[in-house]
Amino acid sequence: MTSTTLPGHPHIAYRGDALYIEQRPLAELAAQHGTPLFVYSKASMLSALGAYQRGFAGRKAQICYAMKANSTLGVLQVFAQAGCGFDIVSGGELERVLAAGAEPGKVIFSGVGKTRAEMRRALEVGIGCFNVESEGELEVLSEVAQATGRRAPVSIRVNPNVDPKTHPYISTGLKGSKFGVAHEDALRIYQRAAALPGLAVVGIDCHIGSQITEETPYLDAMDRMLDLVTTIEAAGIALHHIDFGGGLGIDYRGDTPPEADVLWHKLLAKIDARGYGDRLLMIEPGRSLVGNAGVCVTEVLYLKPGEQKSFCVIDAAMNELPRPAMYQAFHRIEPVSPRHGQTTVYDVVGPICESGDWIGRDRELGVAPGDLLAVFSAGAYCMSMASNYNTRGRPAELLVDGDQAHLIRERESTADQTRLERLVG
């Protein structure tokens, strides 16, 4: 049987006229579990992680999966078992990684709005580091740590003011960003952190954005960060680790981001040349580990021709696949079982009562009602951002490992959604 692998998706392929993920046909999985349905390839996740591990071979390094990309427990378990740490941004995410078997000492806590309760819980379980993002947060964290009889390990997130050349909503390292502290203020803020009794300064952190497809922003940010490390340590503040964040992009539409191992060989050469090759290095990849590991399988409900546009209405929507509505993002859409013959150009849209509920514009498809489509690159920022808008239940999720398909999230019912609600009187 002829096998055709799709670019950027080595573990998803057509075998004859059937689309497979690893050793399982997607049509069979959809028949068993219904649609919309998220299906993830374990081999794809571990392959993406392997590129980072090769890049750091022989180095002191800690890879912390940025779990906001996909926080499903079964996905977190894959990375915990592979030895990863985790980058979290909320108390809820902390509880998820603990439930998935993470080592608390490998957890780093980012985010601009940590609450006192979240700080206390993170200190209680013994996380590895707080990535602090403002002077006010330093003061509060020191107070909380003192009240609990602990010293909080901190690094400060610094904005290197480097343009990542990505969508403005996911650009995080420029001067106008809400994240981190200004590069020119960093030394003063580090001196304040070192003086606070409840804190222990352990590192420095930066993160310039997401879906970055060029190496130049990383190289530029590293230069500015290493300059700052030199300045801070000259002032007598030792930095145990250097955290370079994440943000490496994936191939959505012929994008050509650098391979993780190739990029890090270049970055490590720069680190070595500056004399910091012996430091613990930390990174926070998210999308690049899970994005192309997942597909969303959806059924064609109706074909709706029109004078200006023809629409292919599917049962998935912006509440499962929010990226097109939020970022005008592109997801490849392919038939699960291709028809051979005439095609039509459609806008692929969902059933939500919003004009913004579209999944793909101007897609040439040969489909009929009842056919299945696969929306690609759905492993990141889809289920983790899913909602119940229009009282739609969130889909089931499967993790495929070779010829085994594991149900890692059951389909959500209306009763699940209303369980915590109460009528008055």
CA torsion 14→17→20→23, rounded to 10°?
-100
For residues 300 and 355, what is the distance between their CA atoms, to the nearest angstrom?
18
Q: Is 320 annotated as a binding-site member?
A: no
For residues 383 and 406, what is the distance between their CA atoms, to the nearest angstrom?
17
Q: Is 276 annotated as a binding-site member?
A: no
Note the maximum CA span of the chain. 72
- 30 vs 37, 103, 298, 335, 397, CA distance in Å? 7, 35, 8, 13, 11
Give the amino acid at 108: I
Structure-block tokens of residue 339: 């028809």
Is residue 353 among the annotated active site residues? yes
For residues 406 and 397, what is the distance between their CA atoms, to the nearest angstrom?
8
Report yes or no: 42 and 400 within 8 Å, Cβ to Cβ. Answer: yes
Report yes or no: 73 and 81 within 8 Å, Cβ to Cβ. Answer: no
Residue 203 CB neighbours (<10 A): 22
Q: Is 354 annotated as a binding-site member?
A: yes
For residues 266 and 270, what is the distance between their CA atoms, to the nearest angstrom?
7
Report yes or no: 64 and 86 within 8 Å, Cβ to Cβ. Answer: yes
For residues 152 and 131, what is the distance between their CA atoms, to the nearest angstrom?
11
Which is catalytic among the residues 64, 129, 296, 353?
353
What ranges make up the beta strands (E) of 97-239? 107-109, 129-132, 152-159, 181-182, 199-205
Angle made by CA atoms 167, 169, 173, in degrees to the nearest 5: 85
Q: Is 366 annotated as a binding-site member?
A: no
For residues 117 and 109, what is the distance between their CA atoms, to the nearest angstrom?
13
Q: Is 412 annotated as a binding-site member?
A: no
Q: Is 323 annotated as a binding-site member?
A: yes
Residue 128 CB neighbours (<10 A): 22
Q: Is 197 annotated as a binding-site member?
A: no
Q: Is 190 annotated as a binding-site member?
A: no
Structure-block tokens of residue 281: 């290095």
Q: Is 286 annotated as a binding-site member?
A: yes
For residues 329 and 323, what is the distance between their CA atoms, to the nearest angstrom?
6
Q: Which residues are catalytic?
A: 353
Binding residues: 247, 284-287, 323, 327, 354, 381
Residues belonging to the binding site for substrate are 287, 323, 327, 354, 381
**Which residue ranges make up the annotated binding site for pyridoxal 5'-phosphate?**
247, 284-287, 381
